[in-house]
Amino acid sequence: MLTPDALTALMASHTPHAVLDVRERGAYERGHIFRTTSLPRRQLEVRVPTLITAPATPIALVDADGTLAPLAAATLGAMGYRDVRALDGGVAAWRSAGRRVVQGLNVPSKVFGERALHEWRTPQITPQDLMARIERRDDMVIVDSRTFEEYHRGCIPGSISVPGGELVLRIGELIKRPETTIVVHCGGRTRSYIGAESLRRMRLPNPIVALENGTMGWELAGLTLERGATRTAPEPGDRSRAQATATAARVASEDRVRALRADDVRDLWEQRRERNVYLVDVRSADEYESGHVAGAIWAPGGQAVQATDDYFAVRDASYVFMCDGSGRSIMTAAWFTRMGVPDVAVLAGGVPAWQDAGGLIDNGQPETPPFGWQAARAATRYRKPGDLGGAVVIDVGMSDEYARGHVPGAAWICRSRLESHIATAAPDRARAIVMTCGDGVGATLASTEWLATHLHDPDLRVLDGSWHMPAAKRDPRAEFVAAHIPRAAFFDIDAIADHTTPLPHMLPTPAAFEDAVGALGVATGDRVVVYDTRGVVSAARVWWTFRAFGHDAVAVLDGGLGKWKADGRPLESGDAKPMRRAFRAGRRPELVRDLISMRDNVTTRREQVLDARSAGRFAGTEPEPRAGLRGGHIPGSQNLPSDTLLRPDGTLLPAAELRRRFEGAGIDFARPVTTTCGSGVTASVLALGLHLVGHPHVAVYDGSWSEWGGRTDTPVES
């Protein structure tokens, strides 16, 4: 255990160390010890290997009162960390000893930003003055130095998204005259000042100012933000790159930023178990994913400076920044040097130089499983959705996800507090306990909020599964190219199909599915979120297809692209160019029905058949949209049009209401169900709904009415 005095001494020393606050982030924000890293206990197994590379590093753990840190210490000990101690009594003891705490997030960076403002006297402009200039149409360029996602949610009217780490590289594409004023803004203060000072170091003739208090100050002044903006700076040309390189060279000389050769960086990285080393790629996400130095983390320059305590836990580690050359890496390294970080360097020549030297290159985002994952997975027994046999269900996911939807009857416990709360939630030790979580994929439906938050998760793939009836005369691929969710790829239902039959979009072979899905950038271990342009329609078919081939880590975006747009979330245009990955398909025959099994069921009636077509098509009073099909339905089947499961905004009804709709259609939840429709698309909507309400035995008739109604030897009722 550490006393407050001992922790103070450790933090004041030059010994490389880490101080981790293992409370939840909200508690940390309300009051924490300065220069500690927020790392909730539930995230230890995932994040610590990257945050602390050397197992001998002294680690101090902080909690509220001394009860949580010892549990976290045991986890870190199992992970191989040899010098782990907890602050005796936690933050409460720290306060009792007369020590101060600070409030908020990323406080070290904010403190540095305020210092930069006063030391370098960054010129500022008030919201009122800027609004007056906008109304006068003064000659100026307004740039938002935050992430694109933050910019898109709300920015100063007319501003252009240029994340802080890209400013020096791209500003030349936005200004053509030396008298044009450049206004830099963020959400508050820090990134505005850092961005403005980065531009001032270019020695441009242009006036450069930071917006006082950013978008927060703008709204406090009674002014209105622009929502949903998508403007970005053009790709840098040769002149902009030369200007950025010259600026970086001068800054490196002024701030004494060291450049390491590829061999030196390789040697340093090989020592990471003995000393803490961070390889930091400051380029854009797309650049990073297209190829980065193996072991490098992604921290775009502006964000790395803004959130140093989130990205890095050991201040006295060795930092090596890298980009495609030197410009962005040197500018980021210079800021770290000015922040007082003692061991900072850049990779000379950037990623191309590393590759030329034979260095290992990785693609995509890192996919290292959490510590202990394989052992835990092997030792765990699994339950399928449905009747859990009286087990106690405990949800250990995020609380907000639990609030949006969870397994019926499940109790929520923060995973960090599982040991202290499980006895209350499950007092009967004889009852089975089923653990679940609400990560948006395991729950089958992903909200737009969840997807926006997790869009850049390394193991998440987003697919546009839009499809339209031929009579609609709409081209879903062209619509995808025009606008789609960032990082999405297009899943063509008609192309990823069995082309040996005239029936529409029948399931392909496992080998064909493996090849097609791998080409979309989906790997075997990835989580998949599927959406479409109509809410929840053809996306459900893609969801069912993945499950039919043994991939259960798939969810449907509730409300689809329409809900995403309505929420003001960002879009991309252009065709996707995913990197091929290895996908392995299995077979789940229990989820698929063919003509033979459907013929047999007409006689046995072992399974209930639920038809998703309109009431008129089911009854045979409306013509079928496909030529050559008879009217009517499979004998003994029930009818529930798939659109009756959706709200007007395209989202699915709540689970309780879904169940009432199924029961109203005559479905007995004690018996298996096979769903059918015109061609297996909206039948998947019914299958999705039944899955959501916990029905364990649901299949889809793949050929549906296109097969049954197109034959002359199948019985029909009307």
- As averages over each run of 10 residues, the pLDDT of the chain (718 residues) reads 96 96 93 96 91 97 95 92 96 97 94 90 96 97 93 94 95 96 95 95 96 96 92 94 95 97 97 97 89 93 90 96 94 96 97 94 75 64 68 82 74 86 87 73 66 86 94 93 96 96 96 95 91 95 95 91 94 93 89 96 95 96 93 96 92 85 91 96 96 86 97 95
User: Cα(124)–Cα(113) distance, rounded to whole angstroms?
Assistant: 13
**DSSP class per residue in 451-474:** HHHHTT-TTEEEEE-----GGG--
User: Cα(552)–Cα(585) distance, rounded to whole angstroms?
Assistant: 11
The enclosing H or E element of 674 equals strand 673-676
Q: Report pLDDT for 380.
A: 65
Residue whose entry in the numeric block shows the structure tokens 């030792």: 379
Q: Report pLDDT for 400.
A: 64
CB 10 within 8 A of CB 85: no
Backbone angles phi, psi at 266, to 5 degrees: -60, -45
Q: How many CB atoms lie within 10 A of CB 469?
A: 13
CA distances from residue 506 to 415, 451, 470 in whole angstroms, order as listed: 42, 29, 16
CB 614 within 8 A of CB 706: no
User: Cα(171)–Cα(244) distance, rounded to whole angstroms?
Assistant: 9
Q: Report pLDDT for 416.
A: 87
Structure-token pair, residue 451: 């997807």
**DSSP class per residue in 246-267:** HHHHHHHHHHT-EEE-HHHHHH
- Mapping DSSP to helix (H, G, I), strand (E, B) and coil, where does residue 131 land? helix
Q: Which domains does the chain have, with CATH numbers?
A: 4-104 (3.40.250.10), 110-236 (3.40.250.10), 256-362 (3.40.250.10), 381-436 (3.40.250.10), 445-587 (3.40.250.10), 590-708 (3.40.250.10)
Q: Report pLDDT for 432.
A: 87
User: Cα(700)–Cα(543) distance, rounded to whole angstroms?
Assistant: 12
0.85 cut: is pTM over it? no
Look at residues 447, 454, 464 and name the one whose alpha carbon lies nearest to residue 531: 464
Q: How many CB atoms lie within 10 A of CB 432?
A: 14
CB 529 within 8 A of CB 441: yes
Q: In the sheet where 554-557 sits, what is the strand order? A: 445-446, 554-557, 527-531, 460-464, 489-490
* Radius of gyration, alpha carbons of the chain: 29
User: Which residues are catalytically annotated?
Assistant: 677
Give the DSSP letter of residue 611.
Answer: E
Residue 32 half-sphere exposure toward CB, CA atoms < 13 A: 28
Q: How many CB atoms lie within 10 A of CB 317?
A: 23
Residue 246 half-sphere exposure toward CB, CA atoms < 13 A: 10
CA distances from residue 571 to 176, 305, 409, 476, 513 in whole angstroms, order as listed: 28, 27, 37, 16, 27
Total count of residues recorded for the chain: 718
User: Cα(595)–Cα(712) distance, rounded to whole angstroms?
Assistant: 13
Bridge partners (DSSP) listed for residue 362 = 292
* Burial class of residue 715 in the structure, from the number of CB atoms within 10 Å of its CB (0-12 exposed, 13-18 middle, 19+ buried): exposed
Give the DSSP letter of residue 189.
Answer: S
CB 672 within 8 A of CB 699: yes
Backbone angles phi, psi at 378, to 5 degrees: -65, -30
